[in-house]
Structure 1
Amino acid sequence: MYIIPAVDILDKKVVRLREGNYDDVTRYDVSLEEMIERYRSIGTELIHIIDLNGAKGDFSNQQYLFDVIKRTDMKIQYGGGIRSIDKVKELTDAGVARVIVGTQAITNPTFLDELAKAMCGGTKCSDQVVIAIDVLDEVIKYSGWMESSPIKLIDYIDRCLHLGFYRFLCTDINKDGKLGGAGVELYKKLLDHSPFIKLIASGGVSSMKDIDELCKIKVESCVVGKAIYEERITIEDVKNWNLKSLISI
């Protein structure tokens, strides 16, 4: 299992939201460029960048983020405001390693079918497209966690699998931004249903103990943000863990 450091951007600033609430924001006195360089310098290969403006339909950050991404040789897992097949292709053509799709896949009934036709071949979907599933009490949320979907969680996973997508970024909203521990029960339920999915856990990780618990249930990787910013998990912890896990990335 690999630790993927997370950087959330709102109004071009590094932030964290609590439970996805845009009115409950913690801002950090560090730039995106500095965060990328910090992780690059310890040998981290993959970083998770979310455009929180884009997630709610405001694309004022997008050019800034694209410019930063183009200047780094880090592998980027990128999400927030990806609303079209063309945008997915634009990002992958620009060298983004993984593109996260969320809201559009929920609200547009044909989007995933069209994306599968455009992108899938062998393991390509898994490697380049990540399906975001943001969950609050087993209800799928979208549009920056402001809207609820009637689609059942397991049904949605099954549909994605049928189309060839099998890497999922699952955020347990109940845990996100609280540093109260990861949503192990939720992730275990998903993996019990589909043991072969590549599951990226997100939300609530507060210590290396949480990382160990996720590793035990065979989560592929986990996204960690606030715990690193607040030094509950150190840069050295990330470095040492990922050096051991590098072969599986």
Structure 2
Amino acid sequence: MIIPAFDLINGKPVRLYQGNYLNQKDYNVNLRECLEEYKLKGIKIVHLVDLDGAKNSKNRQLNLLKKILSYGIIPIQIGGGIRNIEDIQNLLDCGATRVIIGSCAIKNKIQVKKWLDIYGPDRIVLALDVHINNNKKEIHINGWQKKTNYFLEDIIEYFSSSQLKHVLCTDISKDGTLSGPNFKLYQDLVKNFKNIKFQASGGVSVLNDIVSLKKTGVHNVIIGRSLLEKKFTIEDALKCWQNES
């Protein structure tokens, strides 16, 4: 399915270029109105990330996230700076449909495995962000600021024993660039991990990108900047996804 995305800094929708906080573009949109429009158009879930929290968990925009969830307009998967079970429970209690776990999946793997067992695979999304270097998918954390020694396939394999179901994978070099997605990345992931519902993220700029992503076998496509900048309409994106068999 198509999943519209909003990244928030200081309460405002923004996009970063390749995850760089120094290369930020602000958007003057009314988030509530956007959520209402997407629901009317047939969107099933929206992706929301607190970039302040992703960069530093002490700066999480928790009151804002609670306010957005209180609208109850449309299901939301939400992430950014989630570091403990209290964070997860808080967001779920406030109405989040899914909680996105990023850096913690690398820093605290054993604990995240327990969270998957406690809440079940439908409530947890692992966000695994990669830079591809000599065909090796290197995972980055802390709002993409820190490279780790972990590789994408190894982490997915590790969590698969806990019935991992949802993985949001972003090629950082594509994010916010409108340069087209990394189709081979998703093709390989779908081929190697048939039980995972992958969410492709980064680079979608034209409707044909959606067609090509559907052909890779991914279950979901996250679209941010293209919708914010009206490169195409949400109606066209949905039609494109539904028509491609």
Same fold by TM-score greater than 0.5: yes
Partner in structure 2 of residue 135 of structure 1: 130
Q: Give distance in 2, aligned partners of 1:148 and 1:166.
A: 25
Q: Give distance in 2, aligned partners of 1:17 and 1:110.
A: 31
**Which amino acid is 1:132 matched to?**
A
* Contact 1:102/1:132 (<8 A) preserved: yes
Shift of 1:173: 0.6
**Distance change >3 Å, CA 204–CA 108, structure 1 → 2:** same
Q: Give distance in 1, aligned partners of 2:151 and 2:234.
A: 37
SS in 2 for 1:41: helix
Query: Gaps spanning 5+ residues in structure 2: where?
Result: none
Partner in structure 1 of residue 94 of structure 2: 94
Q: Give distance in 2, aligned partners of 1:5 and 1:195.
A: 24
What do residues 118-172 of structure 1 show as CA deviations (whole Å, max 9, x unaligned)?
Answer: 223xxxx1x2110110011111011000011111211111011112212100011
In the TM superposition, what are the counterparts of 1:24-103 in structure 2 within 5 Å? 24-57=23-56, 58-103=58-103
1:106 aligns with 2:106: yes
TM-score of the two chains, using structure 2 as the length reference: 0.92
Shift of 1:241: 4.5
Shift of 1:194: 1.1
SS in 2 for 1:148: strand
SS in 2 for 1:175: coil
The number of residue pairs the alignment matches comes to 238
Shift of 1:37: 2.2
TM-score of the two chains, using structure 1 as the length reference: 0.90
Q: Which moved more, 1:42-51 or 1:128-137?
A: 42-51
Query: Gaps spanning 5+ residues in structure 1: where?
Result: none
**Distance change >3 Å, CA 130–CA 109, structure 1 → 2:** closer
SS in 1 for 2:116: helix
What do residues 156-196 of structure 1 show as CA deviations (whole Å, max 9, x unaligned)?
Answer: 11011112212100011111111011111111111121122
Partner in structure 2 of residue 115 of structure 1: 115
* Contact 1:112/1:163 (<8 A) preserved: no
Partner in structure 2 of residue 8 of structure 1: 7
SS in 1 for 2:236: helix
Shift of 1:31: 2.8
* Contact 1:160/1:166 (<8 A) preserved: no
Partner in structure 1 of residue 20 of structure 2: 21
Shift of 1:215: 0.5
Percent identity over paired residues: 37
Q: Give distance in 2, aligned partners of 1:196 and 1:164.
A: 9
* Contact 1:3/1:241 (<8 A) preserved: no
Shift of 1:60: 4.7
In the TM superposition, what are the counterparts of 1:66-215 in structure 2 within 5 Å? 66-120=66-120, 125=121, 127-137=122-132, 138-215=137-214
* Contact 2:46/2:76 (<8 A) preserved: yes
Q: Give distance in 1, aligned partners of 2:21 and 2:126.
A: 22
